[in-house]
A and B are shown apart, each in its own frame.
Chain A
Amino acid sequence: MEKFQKLHGVAAPMPLVNIDTDMIIPKVFLKSIQRTGFGVNLFDEMRYTRDGEEIPDFVLNKPQYRNAEILVAGDNFGCGSSREHAPWAIADFGIKCVVSTSFADIFFNNCFKNGILPIVLPQEQVDILMEDAERGENARMTVDLEAQEITTSEGTTIAFEVDEFKKHCLLNGLDDIGLTMEKASSIDAFEARIAAEHPWM
C-alpha cells in the first residue's frame, strides 16, 4: 500500500450530507474484477449526463478542482454499501484525504486499506475547511499525518484524532495481512481452543 505522510493540495467542497456509496460509484461500475480504473466513474451520475457529457456545475468538473487531492464533505459520508470500489474510485481519481463530521463505519475502514486518510472533525472546524475549499485552487491545504494537523491556506491549524494503529499502517504503507500473519500462533491457539470447547462452531 502507498504511504500517506504529508499532503499539500487542493481541497474540493462537497457540503451535501449523506453522500452514499451508490453516488460515489454507481453499481453499473462494480462489475470489474480489478482494483483500478474506477476514478473516471467517481460520482458518475452527478458528474456526467446520461450521454457521458461532463456536467460543468459539478465540483470536480470545475477547472479549479479537477486535480483535487482532498475532499471536504457533509455529514455521514460513505453511507450505504460495503463496496470497496468507493475508496478505490476516490483513490484512483487522486483524492487521498476526506474530511467530514462523520463517516459510515465500513467506508471509514475501507479508506485506511487503500492509503486514504478519512478525518473526522466537529462541525465548526469542517465549516472552516469548507469555506477554505470554496476558494478554489489557490487555497491549498496541508494535511500532516505525523503531526495530526491540517493547515488551511491562511495558516489556521486544526488538530485531528486518528487511531494509533491505523496511523502507523498508513505512515508506513503496511499490509494488514502480513502483520496479522506474524500473530499466527495466537490464531492457532484460539482455533485449538474453539475446536475443543465448541466443536460445532
Chain B
Amino acid sequence: MSPKTLYDKIWDAHVAHEAEDGTCLLYIDRHLVHEVTSPQAFEGLRMTGRTVRAPEKTIAVPDHNVPTTAGREDPAQMTEESRIQVQALDTNAKEFGVHYYPVSDVRQGIVHIVGPEQGWTLPGMTVVCGDSHTATHGAFGALAHGIGTSEVEHVLATQTLIQKKSKNMKVEITGKLNPGVTAKDITLAVIGETGTAGGTGYVIEYCGEAIRDLSMEGRMTVCNMAIEGGARAGLIAPDETTYEYCKGRAHAPKGGAWEQALAYWKTLFTDEGAHFDKVVTLKGEDIQPVVTWGTSPEDVLPITGVVPNPEDFEGGKVEAARRSIEYMGLTPGQKLTDIEIDTVFIGSCTNGRIEDFRAVAEVVKGKKIKDGMRAMIVPGSGLVRAQAEEEGLADIFREAGFEWRLAGCSMCLAMNPDQLSEGERCAATSNRNFEGRQGYKGRTHLVSPAMAAAAALTGKLTDIRDLM
C-alpha cells in the first residue's frame, strides 16, 4: 500500500460514497452549531419536513451574540436581533433534540473551546461547524473545517458533506522556540510566509519539534488560524500530549472503549515517504514575537520592525497596503513599538484558554495597566473562567486593572456589546484584523497573549522580551 498522509488516512476512513468524478460524501462525526449560522438551516429542515439525522453527534452552544458582563441572563442586555438569534437556537436545540449548552450553563462558551473541553472532539474524527475557526479542532488530529449555512443544513439532514479531496501541504517548524515566542507567533509567522491565499486548496499538517513541544492549547492556537492562511483545515498528529488532554473528559471514551480508541489513534500519523504537494519549513529559532500592522492577517512583522511602504509591495497588494495603512492611521517607516494603543482584548477561540491566561498573569502580576487603558480578559468558556478563578489568575487580572468577563466571542467580532469605537486602536489576541472586524472603523493589531498583556502595561505595542 502506498504511504499516506494523516489527512489521507482520515479522509479515506470517512468516505461514505464516492462518485466517478471523485465527488465524495464525507461522513461527519461531530457537528458543532452556534446561533449565527444555523437559524436558516433549521428553518430549511422545518420547511422540507426533514429531521436531524444524528442529534447525538450534534452539539449547540450560543457564543457570538452573548454579552460577557454580569447579569447577562437578563434579555435586555442583548439587542432585539441578538435575542432573536439566541432564542432561535434555544428553540431549535430543544425541538430537534441536539446536545445543548445554554447561556445559563457553566459549560457554555465559545463553540471551539467547549467542543474539546467536553471531549466531543477526538483524534481521527471529522468535525464541522458553520464557522471558519472550526480549524481549531485539527489540533487533535481531527479533520475539522468551517462550512456555510447550506452545508450546515446538509449535515443536519444527512450527517455527510459533499466534498472533493484537497491537496496535502506540510508546514514544518523545526527546532526550539526562543523565550517570548508562542504558538500565536508561529501561526502568524506561517501566514506571513504563505500569505492569506497560500493555503487555498490545501489541508495543512503542522509538524516538527516546535509543534510537538506545544501543549494542546498551543496546538489549538496554531490550527485555529490555518483558515487565515486560506487552508481548508490544519492538522497535528495526535501523541501522548493529545491522549493526556482527552482522557477523562465528559464525552471521551472510557474503560475498554478508551483502549480501543487509543489503539486506533496510534495509527494516525503520516507514513514515511508520503507525498505532500507543498512543503513550507520555518526554523523555530528564527521566529520572533510578531504583530500585524495592516488589515489582513498576512500583514505581519516582527515587533522590532517598522510600518512598511506600500511601494515595497507588488501587484494588487500595493493598493491594498496603501488602503490598510490609511485605515490603520499609520505612517510608513514608523516603528511598530511606537504605536500607541487604547484597548486590549484578550480572549477568543484563538487565545481564550487557561494557558493563555497563565501567560498573561505572568506578565501583569503585581503591576498595573496604563492609566486610561480599556483592557478586558474574556475566558473561552465558563469552565476556563472557573479554573482561572481557582488558580488565582482572576485576582491578578482584577488587581492589575483588567475587566474579567464571562465567556463568549466578545470583541473578536463585535456582534455583541463588546466593540471598538471609531478610531480606537486595540492589541487583540483574536484572529482577524479586517476593516471593521472589532467595530466600525476600529483598528486591530493581532498579537500573542503575552504581547497583549505587555501592551496593556505600557500603552504601546511592546516587545515582550523587553519585559522579561
Contact = CB atoms under 8 A, between A and B. Distances in A.
Interface string A96-107: 000000111110
A74 B230 CA distance: 15
Contacts of B81: 31-32
B43 interface: yes
B40 A187 contact: no
Contacts of B298: 18
Nearest to A180: B158
B330 interface: no
Given A18-B296, A76-B200, A82-B37, A176 B16 contact: no
A155 interface: no
B40 A31 contact: no
Contact of B131 (A20, A74, A82): A82
B132 interface: yes
A105 B230 contact: yes
Interface residues of B, number: 76
B247 interface: no
Interface stretch (A2-10, A56-64, A141-149, A193-201): A193-201
A200 B320 CA distance: 48
B21 A187 contact: no
B201 interface: yes
Contacts of A194: 27
Interface in B245-266: 253, 257-258, 260-261, 264
Contacts of A23: 434-436
Contact of A27 (B84, B157, B164, B415): B415
Interface string B13-28: 0001101010101010
Interface in A5-54: 15-18, 20, 22-23, 26-28, 30-35, 45, 50
Interface residues of A, number: 56
Interface of A: 15-18, 20, 22-23, 26-28, 30-35, 45, 50, 74-76, 79-84, 87, 102-106, 109-110, 113-114, 163-165, 176-177, 180-181, 183-184, 186-187, 189-191, 194, 198-201
Interface of B: 16-17, 19, 21, 23, 25, 27, 29, 36-37, 39-40, 43, 48, 50, 53, 65, 79, 81-82, 84-85, 88, 122, 124-125, 130-132, 134, 145-151, 153-154, 157-160, 162, 164, 196-197, 200-201, 230-232, 253, 257-258, 260-261, 264, 296, 298, 315-317, 319-320, 323, 413-415, 422, 432, 434-437, 440
13 contacts: A22-B436, A23-B435, A34-B40, A35-B149, A82-B131, A82-B147, A83-B36, A105-B201, A164-B21, A165-B19, A180-B157, A184-B158, A201-B122
Given A27-B413, A163-B164, A191-B27, 19 more contacts: A22-B434, A23-B434, A35-B40, A75-B316, A76-B197, A79-B230, A81-B132, A81-B146, A82-B130, A82-B148, A83-B36, A163-B21, A177-B158, A184-B158, A187-B53, A187-B158, A198-B264, A200-B257, A200-B258
